[in-house]
Amino acid sequence: MKTDNKPWFWIPLLNFASGLPYAIIISVSVIMYKNLGITNEDIGVYTSLLYLPWVIKPLWSPLIELIGTKRKWFLLMQLIISIAFLLVGFTIPLNGFFIMTLSIFWVAAFASASNDIASDGFYLLVLPEDKQSFFIGIRSTFYRLSMLAGNGLVVLFAGYLEHKFGDNTKAWSYTMICVGLLMAFITVYNFIFTPKNEVNAVKNHKEIPNQSFGTIFVSFFKKKQIGLILTFILVFRLGESQLLKMLSPFLLDPKELGGMGLDTEAVGIIYGTCGVAALTIGGILGGIAISKQGLTKWMFPMFLAMHLPILGFILLAFFHPTSIYYIYAVVIVEQFGYGFGFTAFMMYLIHVAEGESKTAHYALATGFMALGMMLPGMLSGYIQKFLGYQNFFIWVLIATIPGLILSRFLTFPKDFGKKSEEV
């Protein structure tokens, strides 16, 4: 089946294959280690260090730009990720599992970061520019759906196995093996359905015959407003980086420690049902809004929609409602806002990457984004312990302000992202 002109066949699962490993490595590992007896401080530091491959991926992104095809790269990386998750599953029951699983996650993180470079470049090269603004919402949605499949369905499955076996070690071992098998299936699907010919990539290489490792980097740092751009990218997710690390411990910790006292299965249900639906709707609406009216009109409202739901977690931390439906409500609002708002951020990164060497430049931009996630995340466990959950969430909300302010000074074409009328 020819799918080159049918992006619905390949965009969803290609981005699912980017988001799921990220979710497992960065987010689900937090819940796993929490249930296997690791402290919040160690979780914050060591799982945040797993961001590092995404931070330094620009160092090898030019190689993916210049050697081979994007399709060969992301298929190989997805296969490595599949094997890594299987190995994590077999390693969890062993003595010293913490160090061993972290090491394997480290390999998977490098493969996942490389997969992101290749799949992002593949999207930018294969899909016509006039369709990118619409499908950026679809990309964002399926990326986040994969993360919620990890944080929701995978966690729900692990929680079910915890109750079934009465053994957290066995439950998480089986869970990670199943995740590895799922990634293997996705890899096979992407092998079958992704377009075989990177026509635009070949065209670009003909037009830019003198590309080199060094010139790709230099050209990125010569972009207009690059200082402001990088500062914005670094601080925009300052609050979110800390929220994501401590949100699961907050939901799982008992109420006497300031948490919500939920079990693993309940957390999985919350994110795997309402969270999935809200995020899907938010991401799709975000892509449609930008494609119809452009990024200029929607950037700031979308950023507000992404960050204001933190107020919900502040209220949960202060009042500890007995009904789980209050938690559902907060998660619905937060996931909708995230799906809706993050679309604008992704679209802006596409603008930053415009021009020659789109793949490498997009990787550079997302590398700085990952750095902005890693460093605050490493400190989040210590900050939470010092402040307590109530004051911690207030601090997280305050931490979103610098990014919101800087976003008002960014410049880009007025109708950037707006779909052409004739298309």
pLDDT, tens only, 176-233: 999 999 999 999 999 998 888 775 444 444 444 455 667 878 888 889 899 999 999 9
Convert the pLDDT of each residue in 64-112 to its tens digit: 877 888 899 999 999 999 999 999 999 999 999 999 999 999 999 999 9
Convert the pLDDT of each residue in 240-297 to its tens digit: 999 988 988 999 999 999 999 999 888 888 877 788 788 888 988 998 898 888 898 9
Centroid of chain to Cα 188: 22
Whether pLDDT at 10 is above 70: yes
Give the chain's largest Cα–Cα span. Answer: 64
The band of 392, judged by pLDDT with boundaries at 50, 70 and 90, is very high
Tally of structural domains, the chain: 1
Average pLDDT, the chain: 87
Domain hosting 21: range is 7-407
The answer to whether residues 414 and 294 touch, using CB atoms and an 8 Å cutoff, is yes
Residue 153 is predicted with a pLDDT of 87
Taking only Cα atoms into account, the Rg of the chain, rounded to an integer number of angstroms, comes to 21
Q: Is residue 204 part of a domain?
A: yes
Q: Is residue 1 part of a domain?
A: no
CA torsion, ordered 226, 228, 229, 231, to nearest 10 deg: 120
The answer to whether residues 261 and 254 touch, using CB atoms and an 8 Å cutoff, is yes
Q: Helices 238-252 & 40-49, crossing angle to 10 degrees?
A: 140
Here the tokens at position 102 are 């972290």
Q: Is residue 135 part of a domain?
A: yes
Name which of 152, 191, 408, 385 is nearest 303 in CA terms.
408
Residue 207 is predicted with a pLDDT of 41
CATH number at residue 107: 1.20.1250.20
Q: Which amino acid is at 45?
A: V
d(CA 306, CA 298): 12
Q: Is residue 189 part of a domain?
A: yes
Label residues 162-197 b or e (16+ Cβ within 10 Å = b).
beeeeebbebbbbbbbbbbebbbebbebbeebbbee
Here the tokens at position 277 are 């639906």
Q: Is residue 419 part of a domain?
A: no
d(CA 291, CA 283): 12
Supply the DSSP symbol for 420: P
Q: Is residue 421 part of a domain?
A: no
Q: Is residue 417 part of a domain?
A: no
